Amino acid sequence: MELWFQDEARVGQKGRTGHRWWLRGRRPPGLCDKRFASAYLFGAVRPATGDAFALVIPHVSTAAMSVFLAEFAATIAPGRHVVMVLDQAGWHGAKALVVPSNITLVPLPPYCPDLNPVERIWLYLRERFLSHRMLPDLDAVIDACCQAWNALADEPERVRSLTAYPYLQQVNA
């Protein structure tokens, strides 16, 4: 049995800026893009090992979540079962959602995003790779998402560090 956490993040041209250290009382120079092309980064992490899996999908829906689960299920070793913890977004519990037999979905309590370690992954990716950038089109948004996720996935220790919540250490013990 493996414990994974899943979430989605919107990344696009009209993104929010990240936090930057700057002179007190002055704003840092930043880029502002008024265009609206965006994609969704569906990500899952396993805090115990630092394993990470993601897909970039142009929209969020029950069908997109079903595709994500099917692709993720294909990476699970035979004889293993994944418990995937996620929030209660509408597409996570829809009747039309196709959940593979080697995955069990466990919803977090309502209004508790702070319990999902993937939220810290999004903060890290936005801060290090995705903020203060001008992306010309949807293809550039998708490329930026892929480069950011791949850079993170190449560092399993960083994933473990970002997702090391105290309550998970008690679960894994």
What stretch of H or E contains 168?
A: helix 166-172
Q: Mean pLDDT across the stretch 146-169?
A: 92
CA distance 79 to 106: 20
Q: Mean pLDDT across the stretch 113-124?
A: 92
70-78 contacts: CB < 8 A, separation 24 or more? Answer: 70/98, 70/100, 72/44, 72/103, 73/100, 73/102, 73/103, 76/2, 76/102, 76/103
Looking at the chain, the whole-number percentage of residues with pLDDT higher than 70 is: 87
Looking at the chain, the whole-number percentage of residues with pLDDT higher than 90 is: 60
Superfamily for the 2-12+34-172 domain: Ribonuclease H-like superfamily/Ribonuclease H (3.30.420.10)
The domains of the chain are located at: 2-12+34-172
What stretch of H or E contains 92?
A: none
Q: Mean pLDDT across the stretch 144-157?
A: 96
Higher pLDDT, 64 or 167: 64
Is the distance from CB of 73 to CB of 6 less than 8 angstroms?
Answer: no
pTM of this prediction? 0.83
The pLDDT assigned to 137 comes to 87
Q: Mean pLDDT across the stretch 122-141?
A: 86
